[in-house]
Structure 1
Amino acid sequence: MSYETCTHITLECPVSATTYGYYPNLGGNAFFTAFFGVMGVAQVGLGVYYRTWTFMVALGIGALMEMAGYIGRILMHSNPWNEGAFKLQIVCLVLAPTFVAAGVYLTLKHIVLNLGPEHSKLNPRLFTWIFISCDIGSLILQAAGGGVAAAAGNTNQALLRAGDDIIIAGIAFQVLTIRMRLIIIAEIFAYFTVLIRCIYRIPEMAGGWGSALMQKENEFLVLDGMMIALATLAYSLFHPGLFVPSMRTGYKNKN
């Protein structure tokens, strides 16, 4: 039976035939929407206060994209066949963690600069260029995959699978890039939460759209949403602008 014309839940278009196979939990997704909204505002406020502009852009975009993604899931709670909401959440929740990871890379560079470049075999000034370049490559792959998946909607399985494969390649590349940062100390918590999210996403996407793992919302909320939430919370409670002064614009001019 074809579900290409499905736009709402009916006897002919059951929730079990949707990609996720469930009504997204309203409470859980509303919590993450509000949480990431607060984190986004916090990161913008802290970024302005400490003048950590690049970090502010990375974490601010990451948190606010997460918020937008969970808004999409709230809309899907009312109508799991809502194609616009499906596209919104899949694109935002695939791409947002890449910006959080960019904050990890940027902070690492300045941690080494403050502790002393002699502690690193790699010139810390190259960290941003090397790791952000890798991140951009990952972002392009994931964006391409998300775009293909969004274009496929809920019904074009061949196109969904193609988008799925591209996203897996992008996330796998991101995992390999993140594993190079074993010297992180102050960031270790955020590092592992982002890493856990990436590792979870690989088998989830590898199983294909509508796979058994993809249709388990609790695992998604804990291993994706909660992991990125904890990373953004860590950066809000222990903002690099306070602990790593070199990240502040104009800091060197004061000495």
Structure 2
Amino acid sequence: MSISPAMFARAATRPEHCTKDTCPASYSIYGYAPNLGANAFFVAIFAISCLTFCYQARLYRKWLGFSIAMILGTALESVGYGSRLMLSADPFSATGFKLNIVLLTFAPALLTAGIYLLLKHLTLSLNPRLSPLKPSLYTPIFVSCDLAAIILQGAGGAISAAAANGTNKKLLDLGVNVMIAGLSSQVVTLAIFAILAGVFFFRIAGARDTLEPHAGHLWQASGFRMFVISAILAFVFIFVRCAYRIAELKDGWGSPIMRRENEFSILDSV
């Protein structure tokens, strides 16, 4: 993957040679000024989610690993969308651009780690014997893979952010390629996790009559079912987000997909 001369020319002009007063937003790497209302909405949603997870962690004092991952993930998402508010005011803001890359890269990986931890607790609460993988192995295997993906994506984002203020095309290309490697590894890990989770829930559904009384009551509880459905939806959305980010980055910074905000709002933000 390489950056076309036209794309790189736009990147190279930001921010030394372009400001919001001298250049249109179409000259920025994203090619637009992020929508103020939409991004303010996501700031609020993730901030409320963060506070909710903080309250629940303090109230119940259980599943702290899951709570910490979700608190950090939603906090970074909120601040990350705050950086897009900076870009809304000034599409050429170097600070907004760097924060946007780094925070919105790290945050979803932390949310994914929370979901990985969640399956361990679900298997232990329902029937660990029906899990295709020993419950104690979910955390070290999948969180380690997620950590590797976080490191790759974070490193790629940092490299790209550092190169964005200069004219180092090779560094920009390197940053994008490292981010794609991290996203690709995350997609593979998510796919494997989905298979294992699917097998477990399929087995649970077929063995409801053999569950212990407490597990049977838990499985039938509407609140528990809503919780599981919400986790599944979050997992699906994160998987779609990772696939979208790979497509967005494969043509480099300033790619046609990257320059369409509606697709970002639907496939990444939501």
Please give the TM-score of this superposition, normalised by the length of structure 2.
0.79
Aligned to 2:66: 55
Q: Which residue of 1 aligns with 2:161?
A: 150
One-letter amino acid matched to 1:82: S
Structure 2 equivalent of residue 250 of structure 1: none
Once superposed, what is the RMSD of the aligned Cα atoms?
1.5
CA deviation vs aligned residue, 1:159-179 (integer Å, no higher than 9, x gap): 222111111100110010011
1:164 aligns with 2:208: no
Q: Does 1:70 align with 2:87?
A: no
Would you say 1:225 and 2:237 are equivalent positions? no
Query: Who is 1:39 aligned against?
Result: 49
Give the aligned partner of residue 198 of structure 1: 242
Deviation at 1:151, TM superposition (A): 0.5
What corresponds to 2:216 in structure 1? none
Q: How does 1:203-218 map to 2 (within 5 A)?
A: 203-218=247-262
Is 1:179–2:191 an aligned residue pair?
A: yes
Separation (CA, whole Å) in 2 of partners of 1:97 and 1:69 = 11
Aligned residue type for 1:169: A
Q: CA deviation at 1:153?
A: 2.0
Question: Is 2:143 the counterpart of 1:132?
Answer: yes
Distance in 1 between the 2:170 and 2:262 partners? 27
| Structure 1: segments with no counterpart, 5+ residues | 227-255
Q: Give the C-alpha shift of residue 138 in structure 1.
A: 0.4
Identity %: 41
Task: Check the 8 A contact 1:7/1:82 in 2, yes or no.
Answer: no
Is the contact between residue 101 and residue 157 of structure 2 (CA under 8 Å) also seen in structure 1?
A: yes
The offset of 1:48, in angstroms, is 1.4
| SS at 2:259 equivalent | coil
- Whole-angstrom distance in 2 between the partners of 1:213 and 1:155: 23
Q: 1:129, 1:198 → 2: CA distance?
A: 22
Q: Deviations over 1:156-208 (max 9, x none)?
A: 33322211111110011001001112325523222211111111111001121
Equivalent position of 1:19 in the other structure: 29
Displacement of 1:134 in angstroms is 0.3
Q: For the Cα contact (< 8 Å) 1:6–1:81, is it kept in 2?
A: no
Question: 2-side partners of 1:155 and 1:206: how far apart?
Answer: 21
1:62 offset after TM fit, Å? 0.5
Long gaps (5+) in structure 2: 1-8, 202-227
TM-score by length of 1: 0.84
Letter in structure 2 aligned against 1:56: S
Q: Which residue of 2 aligns with 1:238?
A: none
Question: Is the CA contact (8 Å cut-off) linking 1:18 and 1:154 kept in structure 2?
Answer: no
Offset at 1:96? 0.3
Q: Confirm or deny that 1:108 pairs with 2:119.
A: yes
Indicate the SS of the match to 2:91. Answer: coil
116-125 or 66-75, larger mean C-alpha shift: 116-125
Poorly superposed stretches of 4+, deviation over 3 Å: 154-157
Structure 1 stretch displaced more, 21-30 or 110-119: 110-119
Which whole-Å CA distance do the structure 2 matches of 1:191 and 1:77 have between them? 29
C-alpha distance in 2 between matches for 1:57 and 1:91: 19
Corresponding residue SS for 2:192: coil
Measured in 2, the distance between the counterparts of 1:154 and 1:80 equals 14
Distance in 1, Cα, partners of 2:121 & 2:43: 31
Amino acid at match of 2:192: M
* Distance (Å, rounded) in 2 between the aligned partners of 1:73 and 1:121: 42
CA apart distance, 1:106? 0.2
Per-residue deviation, 1:23: 0.8
